[in-house]
């Protein structure tokens, strides 16, 4: 089954000198992953210096994985062999430059988180409380619309979330987020936010971070399925997908430890009564359609 994962931090892992772990060519193949979104990530507290160059160094490490980058228009049909697309986690990587956004788009970046975990020039993250997008953040959303880069609202606070949903002409994605009704963590989306994404025709990839799946942090494959099922019960089959956050989380849920384990997730969903077509949509169809829609609607 075609699988697409909306978020991993594997390039950061490689930059640190560690060998491939949960995400490698081998695990991607065994898990049926045809499309993996690799994040360019800094993680420092803004303002940053040298962030653009660090992101470029991470991008230069992608060939070490043996996963080819799709930097042009996506093919009509999903790739059967592991392929890569790029995202940016935290717009502070741009160092305040809209020209840098255009440069990264030419290099293959297709979506970007406005914030990570620290307030930046664009807005305020969920872990830092209330606050709207800044004037620069609003300009950045417009520039992303023009460049064909999808706005990723994972990590962003709720005030910023609704402003993005109002301003974006492209599909809005929450690449690696969970449901707050299942686990009361500020990084998770409320039912109102999830319904907003559903109404807007966005995308939501379920994060595998145990702290976002269960309040006691002792998560398993069944907890991932519980979050999927909650969003589905809200009417979200058409926006659901996977946003593992592999290599960006210190622990993984029992039963889905790396990218080779995705088939176990589909088997569990099947036992829960999910139809094959719905499982295929969650596995990768929804994300691939969203990425295709974003490039088609580019202004």
Q: By C-alpha distance, which of 78, 138, 134, 41 is closest to 292?
A: 78
Whether residue 285 is predicted with pLDDT greater than 60 in this model: the reply is: yes
Give the Cα separation of 78 and 206 in Å (integer).
20
Q: Write down the mean pLDDT value for the chain.
A: 97
Kindly indicate the confidence band of residue 298, based on its pLDDT and cuts at 50, 70 and 90. low
* Tens of pLDDT, residues 136-189: 999 999 999 999 999 999 999 999 999 999 999 999 999 999 999 999 999 999
Give the Cα separation of 82 and 117 in Å (integer).
30
Torsional class of 237: left (φ above 0), alpha (ψ -120 to 50), beta (otherwise): alpha
Whether residue 299 is predicted with pLDDT greater than 50 in this model: the reply is: no
Whether residue 266 is predicted with pLDDT greater than 50 in this model: the reply is: yes
Kindly indicate the confidence band of residue 294, based on its pLDDT and cuts at 50, 70 and 90. confident
Q: Quick one: average pLDDT of 11-32?
A: 97
* Tens of pLDDT, residues 50-63: 999 999 999 999 99
Q: Tell whether pTM > 0.85.
A: yes
Beta carbons within 8 Å of 32's beta carbon, 6+ residues apart: 1, 2, 3, 262, 263, 283
Q: What is the pLDDT of residue 295?
A: 83
Angle CA 285–288–291, to nearest 5: 150
Whether residue 7 is predicted with pLDDT greater than 60 in this model: the reply is: yes
């Amino acid at each position: 089954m075609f699988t697409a994962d909306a978020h991993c931090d594997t390039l950061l892992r490689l930059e640190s000198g560690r060998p491939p772990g949960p995400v490698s060519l081998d695990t991607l193949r065994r898990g049926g992953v045809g499309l993996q979104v690799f994040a360019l990530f800094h993680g420092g507290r803004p303002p940053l210096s040298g962030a653009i160059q660090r992101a470029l160094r991470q991008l230069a490490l992608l060939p070490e994985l043996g996963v080819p980058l799709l930097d042009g228009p996506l093919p009509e049909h999903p790739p059967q062999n592991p392929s890569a697309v790029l995202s940016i986690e935290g717009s502070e990587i741009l160092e305040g430059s809209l020209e840098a956004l255009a440069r990264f788009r030419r290099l293959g970046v297709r979506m970007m988180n406005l914030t990570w975990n620290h307030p930046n020039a664009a807005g305020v993250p969920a872990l830092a409380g209330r606050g709207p997008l800044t004037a620069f953040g609003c300009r950045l959303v417009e520039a992303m619309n023009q460049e064909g880069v999808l706005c990723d609202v994972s990590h962003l606070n709720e005030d910023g979330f609704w402003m993005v949903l109002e301003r974006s002409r492209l599909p809005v994605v929450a690449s690696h987020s969970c449901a707050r009704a299942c686990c009361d963590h500020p990084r998770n989306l409320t039912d109102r936010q999830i319904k907003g994404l559903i109404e807007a025709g966005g995308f939501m990839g379920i994060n595998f971070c145990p702290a976002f799946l269960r309040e006691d942090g002792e998560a398993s494959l069944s907890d991932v399925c519980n979050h999927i099922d909650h969003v589905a019960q809200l009417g979200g089959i058409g926006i659901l997908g996977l946003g593992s956050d592999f290599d960006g989380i210190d622990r993984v849920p029992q039963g889905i430890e790396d990218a080779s384990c995705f088939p176990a997730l589909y088997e569990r969903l099947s036992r829960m009564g999910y139809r094959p077509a719905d499982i295929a949509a969650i596995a990768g169809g929804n994300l691939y359609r969203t990425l295709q829609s974003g490039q088609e609607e580019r202004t």
